[in-house]
C-alpha cells in the first residue's frame, strides 16, 4: 500500500535578531559580560564611555582592585593611563572568552591628533594583550577618524595590527580610512541624525529620509563599487527603524537594548543594503589638504567628530579620577 508524504513540519519562526544575522554580522556594544553571553555576538566593541560604566559595576570591582594592586606593588610611579589600558585589556580578554571573533579596544582619545603617539599606544595595547595570551588576530585597535588617526592606522595595518576607524561622519573620512587600508570603519548613524534634528527640528527624518541611514548607504555603495576591502560597521543607533533600514550592512554594532527589542519581535525583516552591480567608481587618492577642506565644508561631520573626541575624553578623565581614589584593597 502506497502512502503519501507525511505532514510537513512548520518552520520555526525566526525573531528579528535571527533574521538580521542572516544579512549582517552583529556586534555588541557593551562592557557587560552578562549581555555578551546572552546575545552571542560575533564581535564586540568597547569605548571609554563603556569602560567607565563597566568599572562602576560590582562584578568588576575585584578585577580593578587586583590590577591596581599589582601596578602599585611593581611601582609607586605607574601612570593612571597605564591602569586604564590594563583595565581595558582585562575587559577585552574576558569578552573574547565568550565570542568567536574580535574585540575593539580604543586608543586614548586625547591622542587623536598625534600620529606617533597613537601608533605607540596601539603597540602598547597589543603588548598588554599578548601578555594575557591574546594574539593580534583577535583584536581591533580603535582610532578616531581624524587625518592623524587615519595615518596612524595606515602604519599599524602594515605592521599587521588591525584597526577600527571610529567617529566616522562623512564619506571623505570613510574613503580616506579605506585607502589607508583600515580593516574596519564605524560610521555613526544616530549622532548624524541628532545633528540634523537639532538644526532643523521641523523636518521629519524617518526611513530612507534619515540622514544617518543615508550616510551609511552612500559609504557602503561607494566601498562596494570601488572594491575596498574595508568592512563597514554601522554604529550609534537611535531606534530600531535605523537598524532595519541598514540590514545587509557588513556589520552592525548594537547596544543590548536593541538586541533585546529585535529578539522580542517576530515581524519579517528584509535585507535593505546590497552591492549594486551597475555602480562603478574610480578611486581618487585622498590628499591631506582635500581631506581637511572637505571636513571643514561639512559642518555636521566637523562638529560631531570634535564632540565625539571631547565626550570620550570626559569619560576618560572621570575614570582617571575614580582610579586615583580607588583603595588598594576592598
For 208-230, the pLDDT digits (tens) are 899 999 999 999 999 999 999 99
Domain assignment present for 3 = no
Domain assignment present for 8 = no
**Residue 165: φ, ψ to 5°:** -85, 115
- At 12-69, the pLDDT tens digits run 789 999 999 999 999 998 877 888 888 889 999 888 787 888 778 888 888 888 888 8
pLDDT of residue 31: 76
pLDDT of residue 286: 84
pLDDT of 11 over the 80 cut: no
**Residue 186: φ, ψ to 5°:** -120, 90
Domain assignment present for 304 = yes
How sure is the predictor about 207, in pLDDT bands with cuts at 50, 70 and 90? confident
Average pLDDT, the chain: 91
Please report where in the chains the cell 560604566 appears, as a residue. 53
pLDDT of 192 over the 60 cut: yes
Query: What is the DSSP code (8-state) at residue 249?
Result: S
pLDDT of residue 247: 97
pTM of the model: 0.91
Of 123, 164, 121, 119, the C-alpha closest to 145 is 164
Calculate the CA dihedral of residues 7, 11, 13, 18 and round it to 10 degrees: 170
Domain assignment present for 199 = yes
pLDDT of 5 over the 90 cut: no
Asked if residue 159 lies in contact with residue 168, where contact means CB atoms within 8 angstroms, the answer is no
The domain spanning residue 69 has which CATH number? Answer: 3.20.20.70
**How many CA atoms lie less than 13 Å away from 116 in the CB half-sphere?**
0
Query: What is the DSSP code (8-state) at residue 250?
Result: S
Give the distance between the most distant pair of CA atoms in the chain.
Answer: 88
117: cell is: 603617539
Domain assignment present for 123 = yes
pLDDT of residue 222: 95
Task: Give the C-alpha separation, 304 to 177, whole Å.
Answer: 17
Domain that holds residue 63: 16-324
pLDDT of 77 over the 70 cut: no
Domain assignment present for 130 = yes
Of 160, 150, 154, 161, the C-alpha closest to 104 is 161
pLDDT of residue 86: 92
Task: Give the C-alpha separation, 260 to 189, whole Å.
Answer: 19
Render the burial of 129-154: b for 16+ CB within 10 Å, e for the rest.
Answer: beeeebebebbbbbbbbbbbbbbbbb
pLDDT of residue 13: 80
Domain assignment present for 330 = no
Coil, helix or strand at residue 159? coil
pLDDT of residue 49: 80
- At 251-292, the pLDDT tens digits run 999 999 999 999 999 999 999 999 988 887 778 788 999 999
The proportion of the chain whose per-residue pLDDT surpasses 70, expressed as a percent, equals: 94
Q: What mean pLDDT comes out for the span 121-125?
A: 97
Task: Give the C-alpha separation, 180 to 156, whole Å.
Answer: 10
Domain assignment present for 2 = no
Domain count, the chain: 1
Task: Give the C-alpha separation, 183 to 232, whole Å.
Answer: 9
| Active site members | 142
Amino acid at each position: 500500500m502506497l502512502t503519501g508524504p507525511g505532514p510537513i513540519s512548520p518552520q520555526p519562526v525566526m525573531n528579528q535578531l535571527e533574521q538580521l544575522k542572516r544579512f549582517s554580522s552583529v556586534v555588541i556594544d557593551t562592557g557587560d559580560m552578562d549581555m555578551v553571553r546572552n546575545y552571542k555576538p560575533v564581535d564586540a566593541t568597547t569605548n571609554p564611555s563603556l569602560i567607565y560604566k563597566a568599572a562602576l559595576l560590582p562584578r568588576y570591582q575585584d578585577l580593578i582592585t587586583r590590577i591596581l594592586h599589582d601596578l602599585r606593588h611593581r611601582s609607586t610611579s605607574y601612570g593612571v593611563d597605564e591602569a586604564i589600558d590594563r583595565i581595558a585589556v582585562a575587559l577585552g580578554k574576558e569578552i573574547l572568552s565568550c565570542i568567536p571573533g574580535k574585540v575593539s579596544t580604543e586608543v586614548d582619545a586625547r591622542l587623536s591628533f598625534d600620529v606617533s603617539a597613537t601608533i605607540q599606544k596601539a603597540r602598547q595595547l597589543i603588548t598588554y594583550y599578548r601578555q594575557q595570551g591574546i594574539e593580534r588576530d583577535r583584536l581591533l585597535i580603535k582610532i578616531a577618524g581624524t587625518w592623524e588617526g587615519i595615518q596612524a592606522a595606515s602604519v599599524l595595518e602594515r605592521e599587521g595590527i588591525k584597526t577600527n576607524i571610529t567617529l566616522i561622519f562623512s564619506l571623505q573620512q570613510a574613503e580616506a580610512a579605506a585607502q589607508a587600508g583600515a580593516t574596519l570603519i564605524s560610521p555613526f548613524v544616530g549622532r548624524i541624525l541628532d545633528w540634523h534634528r537639532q538644526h532643523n527640528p521641523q523636518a521629519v527624518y524617518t526611513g530612507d529620509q534619515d540622514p544617518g541611514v543615508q550616510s551609511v548607504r552612500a559609504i557602503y555603495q561607494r566601498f562596494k563599487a570601488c572594491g575596498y576591502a574595508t568592512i563597514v560597521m554601522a554604529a550609534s543607533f537611535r531606534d530600531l527603524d535605523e537598524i532595519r533600514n541598514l540590514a545587509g550592512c557588513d556589520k552592525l554594532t548594537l547596544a543590548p537594548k536593541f538586541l533585546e527589542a529585535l529578539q522580542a519581535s517576530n515581524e519579517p525583516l528584509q535585507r535593505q543594503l546590497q552591492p549594486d552591480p551597475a555602480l562603478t567608481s574610480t578611486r581618487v587618492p585622498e590628499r591631506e589638504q582635500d581631506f581637511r577642506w572637505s571636513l571643514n565644508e561639512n559642518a555636521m561631520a566637523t562638529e560631531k567628530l570634535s564632540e565625539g573626541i571631547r565626550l570620550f575624553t570626559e569619560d576618560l578623565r572621570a575614570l582617571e579620577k575614580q582610579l586615583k581614589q580607588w583603595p588598594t584593597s576592598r
